[in-house]
Chain A
Amino acid sequence: MARQEKKKDVVIVGLGWTGSIAGIELAQEGLDIVALERGHDQDTVPNFEYPQQIDELKYGVRLKMMQKPSQQTLTVRRNDGETALPYRSLGSFLPGNGVGGAGTHWNGLNWRPQPVELKLRSHVRDNWGEQIIPEGMNLRDYPVSYDEMEPFFTKFEKVAGISGYAGNLNGEIREGGNPFEGWRSEDYPMPPMPTTYDASKFRDAAKAMGYHPFEAPAGIASTAYVNPYGMQMGPCNFCGFCERYGCYQYSKSSPQTSILGALKRMPNFEYRTKSEVLRVELAADGKTATGVTYWDEEAGEEVFQPADIVILSSYQLNNVHLMLLSGLGEAYNPLTGEGTLGKNYAYQMNGGVSMFFKEDNFNPFVGHGANGQVIDDFSISQNDFGAEGFIGGSYWRSGTFNGQPIRNMPLPKGTPSWGAGWKEGIGEWYGHAMSIGSHGSHMSYANNHLDLDPTYTDRHGRPLMRMTFNWQDNDLRMNQFMKRKMEPLAASMNPDIMQAGFKDIGAQYDVRPYQTTHNTGGHIMAENAREGAVNRYSQTFKAHNVFAMGAGNFVQNTQYNPTGLVGGLAYHTVHAIRTQYLSNPRPLV
């Protein structure tokens, strides 16, 4: 018999970016709120303190900030014919754990999608016709437009504290910004970050080829900063420990720097850590949720937390898993196209070029996660899909992000991986290499989806989620296109040695090397219950008092890092709850 807690107006599942946003915005309505967080409590003070945080082995390699697979994981297969095997140790993607979630250990790259990315099917249809859409690609429009999302992107960027320079200010294209971005109602909250040497070389080469370089938009503070909640950031010191680390300097946008201190002061908000939600409980008629049942780690028992509104704000993979386990929709069947949960899982298609300059010193440890100059000249809005034979695009970026030597030791091809040759190589080349990365879109396909595994279970006896995922030709063709375009640019910089790394047609998904933690889709937004799991307000079609936030809403992945869109959608959703739902709880669409 589960213990039962006092009923709350709102229960929030997962206290990362979206849970924190929901918490503070709904707490401002006076609602009585509890957030349940699976992991531990953590804050800049004292969890991310210098110098203990500057420990590559502990955090960079042993991944002590991340979700432990022993606690929660999933199985992976590359097609329906394979037996899925557990993702036993972390590799390809790194879901976070604890208060702040992945928002504590990200790189800080904060992008808005391009307007056409939110209406990509229409963009393709209008320009080339739907016949260019490959068989099996579930290309979709988002049920929201850029224009209606703009205020919410702006809001999130002010809260998160983003550094950058607007390239499109209310329609005016400005030199030095990104000319291909959607319009901005205001400039970035902070000026752009300074440009490191490698980035300046890339910038100059890109300009010489007629491209349009700009400093990457960074959830990294270029100055001191005070956000609308009174929360603060300190100026970044280019310590080079962003991704996989909490920021000791208060410089990286995170729930800790942006929201939590203000939220925790609100008397109508409480949060419980080591509280892992096992399922959302539905009313007898199945049309609303009554609350959630969670595992109280300290007490070692199940607890029922009744609530009027349930906000699912855990990591995308965990949100989808929880919805599958709770019956918040039907599982997607790729053969029939029926069902919505687990549909349109997508990822990211990346590649890059490494360049070695014997005489140049790049000081690779002087950097930050969102460092670099970028070009968007091969972005989704700029590519001729019909002519090039793919749908998608990428942004290119060059800038030092960490020089941590266990993991970041680029060596020319042919250098031995051990022995005297390796030792000589690291002495010769450390600090003399730079790279350009291509960060590309990933479309959604019937073949790539999420459901429940028939064999493996978690520590609570629940079936693990099963990921069916492999690279698809469309995105690989996009990647090869980028290789063809990038190599001449890299060569124009006259490196002593250069080498490209772009997946090619036939590449198989490998769970071992880190790629990105940009897992998207699975509870996608749609106009109706047949096509998606949630509506334009992230409200589930199944139960109108359940809202599912995060990148699970993405109908396909954009070419950008997802946080900006995740944050914008979260503010869009809580705005709808505040202005439309609370006064009259009902399906909003």
Chain B
Amino acid sequence: MTDLPGYPSRRSFLKATAAGAALSGLALPASAQQTPKPVSLDDYQREYLNADEWAFIMAATARLIPSEGDGPGALEARVPVFIDRQLASDYGTADDWYMEGPHDPNAEPARGWQTPLNPAEVYRQAIPAFNAWCQDTHGANFADLNAEQQDAALTSLQNGDVALAPELREFWGILLGNTKEGYFADPQYGGNHGMQSWVYIGFPGARAAYREWPERHNVKYPLGPVSISGERA
């Protein structure tokens, strides 16, 4: 067995030497800090999205999960950060997917993802196309429309009334899907800031330990969530 760092051993003297070399990459933090206050969304350093795309994502997610009413909105949950980071990751580039041709983007939706574009490319091409549609239909880029117009535009996008190229057909689905992912995923991915969405619905997050609870029938589980990194709410 491999000795664990700091573990008792008749031979533990050696840990400062031989084992030290092997474990030197595993320097532990002085303490597990609670998440520091993040930079504002305006100051956030984007990893994938350009300025126009960011403006769109900020505006669109704010309508998909608005701030008004109970529970956090997408902006309070920092969903745009999540989306930016996901598009910069192997999800954005579809590393796990089979992307060989020939492609038939016109295939009916039940045949699955058939566009030659990966998710990051879909965002890159669809946002200007959708903005152009908003210009034509509502007279301004999506981000510059009022909330009512934005909701109308998103409804058109959802209903397939925005004439996007077939290669961009998946745009609505991934935009909405990624927004909800960013709302509910563990905070380590940039969204679900402060676990507010988990608090809102009553999901205990990464606790994953309820042996005492299956037979506590019809009693609402009261304890707030914990994140993978150990944040409490």
Contact = CB atoms under 8 A, between A and B. Distances in A.
A423 interface: yes
Contacts of B176: 417-418
Contacts of A51: 206, 208, 228, 230
A418 B154 contact: yes
Given A91-B112, A422-B65, A430-B202, A366 B208 contact: no
Contacts of A579: none
B71 interface: yes
Interface in B174-233: 176, 179-181, 184-186, 189, 197-198, 200-211, 213-221, 228, 230
B110 A511 contact: yes
B218 A197 contact: yes
B98 to A, nearest CB: 4
B129 interface: no
Interface string B111-144: 1111000000000000000000000000000000
Interface in A269-304: none
Given A85-B107, A361-B220, A419-B151, A240 B208 contact: yes
Contact of B208 (A54, A509, A511): A54
B104 A83 contact: yes
A159 interface: no
A368 B184 CA distance: 20
A62 B94 contact: no
Nearest to A64: B96
Contact of B215 (A195, A418, A424): A195
B71 to A, nearest CB: 5
Interface residues of B, number: 62
B16 interface: no
Interface in B147-164: 151, 154, 158
A237 B95 contact: no
Main secondary structure of the interface of A (DSSP, over half): loop
A56 B102 contact: no
Given A88-B97, A361-B219, A456-B100, A405 B189 contact: no
A510 interface: yes
B208 A197 contact: no
A61 B96 contact: no
A123 interface: no
Nearest to B96: A68
B164 to A, nearest CB: 18
Given A88-B99, A431-B220, A510-B110, A420 B69 contact: yes
Nearest to A455: B102
A108 to B, nearest CB: 15
Contacts of B73: 423
A238 B107 contact: no
A209 interface: no
Contacts of B203: 365, 403-405, 430
Nearest to A76: B111
Given A88-B98, A427-B70, A430-B202, A406 B180 contact: yes
Chain A interface residue bracket vs B: 35 or more
A235 B211 contact: yes
A85 B214 contact: no
Contact of B110 (A68, A360, A508): A508
Given A88-B98, A88-B114, A238-B213, A363 B221 contact: yes
A426 interface: yes
Contacts of A50: 208
Contacts of A512: 109-110, 112
8 contacts: A54-B186, A54-B207, A63-B96, A83-B104, A237-B211, A405-B203, A427-B71, A512-B112
Interface of B: 63-66, 68-71, 73, 91, 94-100, 102, 104, 107, 109-114, 151, 154, 158, 176, 179-181, 184-186, 189, 197-198, 200-211, 213-221, 228, 230
Interface of A: 50-52, 54-57, 61-63, 68-70, 73, 76, 83, 85-89, 91, 193-197, 200, 235-241, 248, 360-361, 363, 365-367, 371, 403-406, 417-420, 422-424, 426-427, 430-431, 455-457, 508-512
